[in-house]
Amino acid sequence: MKKFRVIFGYTILILIAVSMLYPFAAMVNLSLTPEGEIFSQSGKFFHLNLTLQNYKNVFVQIPLAKYFLNSLIVATIATAGQVIISALAGYAFARIKFPFRNGLFLMFLITMLIPPQVNIIPLFFLMRELHLVDTYQALIWPALFGGFGVFMMRQYFLGMPKDLEESAKIDGCNIFETFFKIALPLALPAVATLAIFTFVTNWNSFMWPLIITNSEGMRTLPVGLAIFKGSFREITLWGELLACSVICTLPVIGVFLLGKRYFINDIMQGGVKE
What CATH number is attached to the domain comprising 215? 1.10.3720.10
How many residues in total does the chain contain?
A: 274
Alpha-carbon distances, residue 33 vs 52, 71, 235, 244, 258 (angstroms): 8, 27, 17, 14, 30
Q: Identify whether 68 is part of a domain.
A: yes
Give me the number of domains the chain comprises.
1
> Of 33, 23, 40, which Cα lies nearest the Cα of 239?
33
Q: Identify whether 58 is part of a domain.
A: no
Q: Identify whether 254 is part of a domain.
A: yes
pLDDT at 221 > cutoff 80 = yes
pLDDT digits (tens, 9 = 90+) for 5-44: 888 888 998 999 889 888 888 889 888 888 877 777 555 6
Helices (H), 96-220: 101-111, 120-129, 136-140, 147-158, 163-170, 175-178, 184-186, 188-203, 207-212
Q: Identify whether 30 is part of a domain.
A: no
Q: Identify whether 83 is part of a domain.
A: yes
Q: Identify whether 57 is part of a domain.
A: no
pLDDT digits (tens, 9 = 90+) for 140-190: 999 998 889 999 999 989 888 888 888 888 888 888 888 888 888 888 888
Q: Identify whether 46 is part of a domain.
A: no
- Domain range holding 178? 64-229+250-270
Q: Are 95 and 157 in contact (CB under 8 A)?
A: yes
Q: Identify whether 219 is part of a domain.
A: yes
pTM, whole model, 2 decimals? Answer: 0.86
